[in-house]
Amino acid sequence: MNLTPVGAAGPLLTWLKIIAATLALLALGACSALRIGYGQAPNLIYWWIDGYADLNDSQSAQIRSDIDRFMAWHRSQELPRYAALLKRWQDMAQHNVTAEAVCRQYDDLREAWVRMAEHAGAPLARLAVQLDATQMAHFERHQHKSHESFEKDFLRGSPEQRLNRRTERLLDRYETLYGPLSREQEALVRQGLARSPFDPQQTQQERLRLAAELRDMIRQWQALPPGATRQTVKERAAGEWLAHRLPPRQATDHPTARVIRHGCEVYAALHNSTTPEQRAHSVRVLRDYETDIRSLAGQD
């Protein structure tokens, strides 16, 4: 199931996005890639952070230690939750589903995001208050690159070209799960995306607002006295900020909530159109992922 809304989270703590994307599972082409990707996650996370902050030697050592602790927590506490979720998805894959049932699965993924954000908030906020002026300028340039990348993917070209790019990406993910789709199924996905309430211009504006909010927040932390800084960022700021980048449960008027709801409807319609062979394919894919997750968690 691909339930991750485009543009749902801001630029803060992007290394959590790597973990979330890895564990969303269906962006991977084969289950063996999951083991390889998860095993490489500490290095990927480190280089992603370094790309944003241009770490010095002392910061590098601390971040690597923080990443190791985070990954140990994630492996022992979160991977078993994902294995259970995959087991449930195998049962669901054999039957028709409703959009409401699909969105409940998104709620579970959202809660996983919140747990990761809360767990990672303190060490990343600790890093944020250590950034000097040169590193902050580097951070802002990297944010700008992220905005340019979003613009290239979602705002450039004609509406038809933008729809083609989105359709191609989503079809790739669905075919990972179901195998080849029929022309009718491809048309269903394309038509669903064409009706989506997703507004890339509005999303880009929100991304820009969140980026500025983050920069301001970091500078406020840096202006606090050292003792207060440590307590403030540990108890509140970073984890809270990231955890609330997604709409709360039961939200209906939030723009992202509307995109998520529409995505659930499109996914349910596609799944309910699948053949017995396609559903069997999805069960095998999900079972393989579950096996790999349990192996990574030391449960096999």
Q: Looking at residue 246, what is its pLDDT?
A: 58
Q: pLDDT-derived band of residue 39, with 50, 70 and 90 as boundaries?
A: confident
Helix axes 99-128, 226-235, angle to 10 degrees: 170
Q: Looking at residue 231, what is its pLDDT?
A: 58
The DSSP result for 210-230, as a single string, is HHHHHHHHHHHHHHS-HHHHH
Measuring CA to CA, which residue among 85, 105, 102, 107 is closest to residue 250? 107
Q: Looking at residue 117, what is its pLDDT?
A: 79
**Is residue 11 over pLDDT 60?**
no
pLDDT digits (tens, 9 = 90+) for 130-144: 899 999 999 999 999
Q: Looking at residue 133, what is its pLDDT?
A: 93
| pTM attached to this predicted model | 0.82
**Is residue 164 over pLDDT 50?**
yes
Please give the structure tokens belonging to residue 111.
């809660």
**Is residue 27 over pLDDT 60?**
no
Q: Looking at residue 20, what is its pLDDT?
A: 44
Average pLDDT over residues 108-114: 83
Q: Please state, in angstroms and rounded to a whole number, the distance separating the CA atoms of residues 170 and 186.
A: 10
Measuring CA to CA, which residue among 190, 257, 245 is closest to residue 3? 257
Q: Looking at residue 251, what is its pLDDT?
A: 56
Please give the structure tokens belonging to residue 237.
């700021």
Please give the structure tokens belonging to residue 134.
């040169």
Q: Looking at residue 90, what is its pLDDT?
A: 95
3-state secondary structure at position 187: helix
